[in-house]
Amino acid sequence: MDGFALRTVALALSILAVLVLAAMGIRRHVPLLRRLFLPNAVTAGFVALILGPQVLGNLTGDSGRFSAGLFGEEIVAVWRELPGLLINVVFAAILLGKTLPRPREIWRASAPQALFGATLSLGQYALGLLLAVAVLVPVFNLSELSGALLEISFTGGHGTAAGLSSTFSDLGFEEGTALALGLATVGLIAGILLGTLLINIAVRSTKVTVARQEEVTAEEDYEIGKIDQYDTPEALEPDPATSPLTITAGAIALAIGLGLLIQQTLIFISVLISDAPADETFVSEIPLFPFTILGGAALQIAISARGWSHAIPRHLVNQVSGVALDLLITAAIATLSLSAIGDNFVPFLLMAAVALAWSVGALVWLAPRFYGERWFERAIADFGQSSGTVASGFLLVDMADPEAISGAREGYGYKQLLFEPFLGGGMITALALPIVHSVGANWALVGATILCLLTILLGIRLQRRTAERTVVG
């Protein structure tokens, strides 16, 4: 954040933290927010947006006392830069501090859910690109990059949408960030509402087997904060010289540094191969955050090999990552461009409708063919992730199976080890925009469609083989 005074940056971060605290109070007194399970950071972001230059500033006019909003132009300018920085912290922490099961164990526990989750994401790419080629580009003159918005927003969520803001700008699609954040908000709310509705329909249906026996009521409460299934079993012994939280923050910083080293090495190799300037290579169009996943994985493998897994407690990694994600989402929504959404409102509605229709349709028609028995509890978790966040999936599976008898929660948790590094904000999500920009929406559509069909065939074949082994056994 060059050009900003340290005092301004500190004040901007402090205001964001206070806004999140205020959102906690608002949520407590507004039952609707609790029923929607809307994260406090999202609420805080919209409060900041209302009190900022786009709403309060416009209402008071150019000559009004609050023409720049309640916070001032310098604070808002800092907020615009934060998402691109904080997203690196979030993604460096994805695998850091986890005791990773053996690959075979992960595959056995979560293969159907990983394939179904990949189908949902790749289908979002395929349908989004089809919508872009057929309607968004020729009719509404949007960028071809709009075809990647569905997966970035609905499966990736607010964090991924905000983290890609610099990529959108660099590739000439500035309004993409606002559209992605808006779609992520729609997905988060609609996903919870539709998921709850689908659970209630399943409870009443005689054709669907579901663990839950009674409909979900508005009075029910769920713990959605604990979403990590793989905390390290040992806690770090207290060190009077260094706080465990400091060690954890340092490990995340080191993971980011390793990610930067990987990125710069690939850029250097690309320059040697293509003889093009560093800023014109394909790798240079990829943001840093997917490389920080690799940096975190490499660091975790290294410390595990030395027997130091306990040195980085996963619950502290979650705390550092959680703070970064809360501030990131609040800042991103606070600086969301309302004019960009307003100018593209019809395309915005079309994209939201297509994404939600695909998630519901895949759950109803494909999920039984991927899972067999207990398909609904498993699929509703993937539905939640495809229209919101990882936490949304855990929330819905807890609604569908409150006694945890189906094994869906464990399978969904294992799935993240296969899914998160690649889709929903991982390497493939980060590569999508540069790929569409390089090869065009038509070829990207062909590739996404082929990959989606492939995951469907693999998922159905895996289920059939599992059913055959069960019958033989």
Using alpha carbons, select from 155, 181, 177 the residue that is nearest to residue 42. Answer: 181
* Model confidence at 32: pLDDT above 60: yes
User: Mean pLDDT throughout 378-390?
Assistant: 86
Kindly indicate the confidence band of residue 306, based on its pLDDT and cuts at 50, 70 and 90.
confident
* Model confidence at 434: pLDDT above 60: yes
Using the structure block, give the residue that is written with the tokens 């009190």.
Answer: 51
Using alpha carbons, select from 66, 85, 57, 71 the residue that is nearest to residue 11. Answer: 71
CB of 16 closer than 8 Å to CB of 331? yes
- The pair phi, psi for residue 194, each rounded to 5°, is -65, -40
pTM of the model: 0.82
Residue 62 is predicted with a pLDDT of: 63
Residue 219 is predicted with a pLDDT of: 57
Residue 470 is predicted with a pLDDT of: 57
Element at 465 (helix H, strand E): helix 441-472
pLDDT per residue over 449-467, tens digit each?
A: 999 999 999 999 988 887 7
Rounded to whole angstroms, how far apart are CA atoms 402 and 381? 13
3-state DSSP assignment of residue 320:
helix
User: Mean pLDDT throughout 58-68?
Assistant: 68
* Model confidence at 223: pLDDT above 60: no
